[in-house]
Amino acid sequence: MSGLLAAELAAGPIAAWLVPDPAHRRPVLHAYARFVLAHGLAHGQVDTTCDRTAVAVWYPRRAAPEPAAALLFGLCRVLGAQAARFALLHAQTDAVHPHIPHHHLAQLAGDHDAARRLLVARHRLLDPHGLPSYAEVVTDRPRECLLGRLGYAPRTPVLLGGGPALWRMWRAAPATARRCRAGCGCTGPR
């Protein structure tokens, strides 16, 4: 699965910004992908297709995310001198991360149709509970990318100094969910 994540990163315009030196890019992206997958397994949820042609890393966010110190320490431990831009990426996206309950799609990689099926399956789990979804994506046309076609709406992008724009994408909770009568803030199906 980490190979899928690394290949997805390497194919996109963010790869050259994250690791400017092409000689180091591939091994650094693979190390980062292994780290992201391990972190997702330990602290989030990892979805994959049976044939392993797509993978998605999700983090349930019922409250504001915890401080990223442990994540940043892990990045430095795994990536060494190459960690600076990865740490900057995480710091900038954490600064604009929504602070309401939602599920955060941190990584998505693999075959387009398989990735779509993974997202649709996750949305089927979230929708009855009225949970929105959030992701960031590097694209020139956020409304036309896979997330845009699945109901995610672009918000203002995160501008990485000298790098590509990272579009914040939000998929609102469906209108069919309603708030719990107990006043606890949870949601339940109608």
56 residue type, one letter: A
CA atoms within 13 A on the CB side of 4: 20
Where in the chain does DSSP place strands (E)? Answer: 45-48, 54-61, 102-110, 133-138, 153-159, 165-171, 177-179, 187-189
Q: Which residues 6+ apart lie within 8 Å of 118 measured at CB? A: 47, 48, 49, 54, 55, 56, 108
pTM (two decimals): 0.87
- Residue 161's pLDDT band, with cuts at 50, 70 and 90, is confident
Q: Does an H or E element contain 120, and which? A: helix 112-126
Cα 24 to Cα 15: distance, rounded to the nearest angstrom: 11
Average pLDDT, the chain: 88
- CB count in 10 Å sphere of residue 3: 14
> In this structure, are residues 178 and 187 in contact, taking their beta carbons and an 8 Å threshold?
yes
pLDDT value, residue 80: 93
Enclosing domain of residue 151? 2-189
Q: Which CATH number goes with the domain that contains 137?
A: 3.40.630.30
Tally of structural domains, the chain: 1
> In this structure, are residues 150 and 171 in contact, taking their beta carbons and an 8 Å threshold?
yes
> In this structure, are residues 56 and 107 in contact, taking their beta carbons and an 8 Å threshold?
yes
Q: pLDDT of 20-75, one tens digit each?
A: 999 999 999 999 999 999 999 998 999 999 999 999 999 998 866 666 777 888 89
What 3-state DSSP class applies to 66?
Answer: coil
pLDDT for 188 beyond 80: no
Lowest-confidence segment of 129-133, 155-159, 165-169, 175-179 by average pLDDT: 175-179
